[in-house]
Amino acid sequence: MSEHGHELSFTEKYIFSVDHKVIGLQYMITSFIFLLIGFTMILIMRWQLAFPGTVIPIFGKLLPATFAPGGILGPTGYNQMGAMHGTIMVFLGIVPLAVGAFGNYVMPIQIGAPDMAFPRMNMLSYWVYLPGGILMLSSFLMPGGAAQSGWTSYPPLSVINPGQTVWLLSMVFLITSSLLGSMNFIVTVLNLRAPGMTLWRMPLFCWSQFVTAFILLLAFPPLEAAAILQLSDRVLHTSFFMPDGLVVAGQAAQYAGGGAVLLYQHLFWFLAHPEVYVLILPPFGIISEIIATNTRKPLFGYKEMVYAMMSIAAMSFLVWAHHMFLSGMSPALSNFFLITTMIISVPSVALLTCLILSLKGASIRFTTPMLFALSFLPMFGIGGLTGLPLGLTVTDIYLHDTYYVIGHFHYVVVTGSLMGLFGGVYHWFPKMFGRKMDDCLGKIHFWGSVIAMNGILMPMLVIGLQGQSRRLFDPTAQLHNLIGQPMHVLSTISAIALMLFQIPFIYNFFNSMFRGELVDSNPWKATTLDWDCPSPPPHGNFAKVPRVYRGPYEYSHPDHNEDWLPQSREHAEAAR
């Protein structure tokens, strides 16, 4: 890597940089752009759901005729956007933001490392992710359009539908990027901790990244294999997932047959369930940091939380088929997955319990990041609780593939993960730019978002209970959905409101970058090493390698004169 003393060109410094902080920021900006794109797609879809067959305002005129003839969204366009919304939000939005952005930026400074273990590999992983993302978006321009078989890409539909080839290729890029990143994270955590930073002195955020990296490392390859097999079904006309005797539109399909349809679902969910924990564990780490800082007391049950994260990660590999109770899988095997699903809820409850008990005895500062972290707790609670009737085989018969499922996982990922990540942006922004984000705009963003998100998602739980299937282009085409239509309207209006409430955030982010209030290196009075180096940290992070003397959350230490005792301070100073 480039050494000191030699002037870095613009390209080396900001584009092909090997500095983990620049790469983290690249990830952050890119994933926010993808989140915005994915959100715009859902706005267009939501308009169609609330007001089927009407001209979409603003976007209607911009969309090509194949998508929205006469400004009205067509079913092909709807399915393409549906598939791409899911894919973009999960693989190009939340995961790169949680792991690529925050993991890259914060984790090395929190353990006192000068950079990642493999800086060039780190750069490579971003430069594999970005083309993968661009390829994914470019699939809209391909003949036949983008993928339109849902983000799950179930064969045989995905094999006979147009558009899936580019999706699969792009997934191979994204998986490669994740694998490079996860190897790098694990090695960094194991081999580059500052002196004195034992594993049990690591902040919870580092633990969450460490555990997540293992999930990514071991859960992604099965999807990669499944993607390769499906790609070969599409390109080489093999028949891994194509059974005997398919008749599509009255014509016998040109496949040799003999494939196993359910095999793909097993392989897909073997990744995709652990992936859910990739979405939620890093935000858990972020809000743990925020809560510890803003309660001014040690977190409750630090070790318990680490063990809970580890058991979540390990168990997450054994629950995948609860997505497949009604797929034609053996009903006897369902009972196994039912039990493991119930067991995995225990460590999740433990995590929530520890965080809420951390509030006891605290002196809670309601700063903007703290508001986001606090809202995470009840909202993730709803997400977790609504998972219960979906995880039980019998109630899942009714609720499976309805809007209830959509409500459930958006409560987890949007009001949970995304809110945690927003909190992380407000929390670490002073570290990244040496300036604080505006508090008032931040609070507008918070209250607007949290209310709008509930306005979007609560109606989904209601129409889910009414039995409305998901992924319907036009819900009013089915009689039993008519009664719930006002709920779609409410949901759509809330979605538009949510979009409007992101404007203060975007303005705040860029404005504060240059004009925000200047702050010192530790504005929150926090204890972990990330607040020990200058803001923004220079290349190499620390002028002198820090030495660590204690655990991460020594707030309100009785022998110390201030209410925070940094990890790198050798001795507590007695109160005067």
- Interaction residues for another protein, span 235-264 (CB under 8 A): 236-240, 243-250, 252-253, 255-263
- Residue 30 CB, shortest distance to another protein, in Å, is 24
- Residue 509 CB, shortest distance to another protein, in Å, is 26
Q: Taking phi first (over 0 means left), then psi (-120 to 50 degrees means alpha), and beta for anything else, what does residue 153 get?
A: left
288 belongs to the binding site for another protein (CB under 8 A): no
* Segment lying near another protein (by CB under 8 A), choices 54-62, 129-137, 550-558, 567-575: 550-558
Instruction: Quote the CA–CA distance of 217 and 214 in Å, as a whole number.
Output: 5
- Interaction residues for another protein, span 382-411 (CB under 8 A): 382, 385-386, 388-389, 392-395, 397-402
505 belongs to the binding site for another protein (CB under 8 A): no
Instruction: Quote the CA–CA distance of 520 and 49 in Å, as a whole number.
Output: 49
Which position among 1, 15, 506, 575 is part of the footprint of another protein (CB under 8 A)? Answer: 1
Instruction: Quote the CA–CA distance of 555 and 259 in Å, as a whole number.
Output: 59
507 belongs to the binding site for another protein (CB under 8 A): no
- Interaction residues for another protein, span 67-86 (CB under 8 A): 75-76, 79, 82
137 Cα distance to chain centroid:
19
Are 396 and 70 a contacting pair, CB within 8 Å? no
Burial letters for 270-279: b for 16+ Cβ neighbours within 10 Å, e otherwise?
bbbbbbbbbb
* Segment lying near another protein (by CB under 8 A), choices 124-132, 231-239, 508-516, 526-534: 231-239
Instruction: Quote the CA–CA distance of 312 and 306 in Å, as a whole number.
Output: 10
Which position among 85, 193, 322, 436 is part of the footprint of another protein (CB under 8 A)? Answer: 193
Residue 193 corresponds to which amino acid? R
- Residue 33 CB, shortest distance to another protein, in Å, is 27
354 belongs to the binding site for another protein (CB under 8 A): yes
297 belongs to the binding site for another protein (CB under 8 A): yes
Closest CA to 110 of 561, 552, 562, 473: 552
Alpha-carbon dihedral of residues 347, 286, 368, 413, nearest 10 degrees?
-60
By beta-carbon proximity to another protein, the closer residue of 51 and 511 is 51
Are 266 and 320 a contacting pair, CB within 8 Å? yes
Closest CA to 132 of 240, 247, 272, 30: 30
The footprint of another protein on this chain (CB under 8 A) covers a number of residues equal to 164
362 belongs to the binding site for another protein (CB under 8 A): yes
Residue 241 corresponds to which amino acid? F
- Interaction residues for another protein, span 121-150 (CB under 8 A): 148-150
310 belongs to the binding site for another protein (CB under 8 A): no
353 belongs to the binding site for another protein (CB under 8 A): yes
118 belongs to the binding site for another protein (CB under 8 A): yes
Instruction: Quote the CA–CA distance of 240 and 249 in Å, as a whole number.
Output: 21
- Interaction residues for another protein, span 15-54 (CB under 8 A): none
- Residue 537 CB, shortest distance to another protein, in Å, is 14
- Integer distance in angstroms from the first to the last C-alpha of the chain? 48
By beta-carbon proximity to another protein, the closer residue of 190 and 506 is 190
440 belongs to the binding site for another protein (CB under 8 A): no
- The 3-state DSSP class for residue 506 equals helix
By beta-carbon proximity to another protein, the closer residue of 11 and 191 is 191
By beta-carbon proximity to another protein, the closer residue of 346 and 506 is 346
Beta bridge partners of 555: 564
Q: Tell me if the bond preceding 108 is cis, omega within 30° of 0.
A: no
350 belongs to the binding site for another protein (CB under 8 A): yes
* Segment lying near another protein (by CB under 8 A), choices 36-44, 279-287, 432-440, 464-472: 464-472
The pair of structure tokens assigned to 145 is: 């359009």
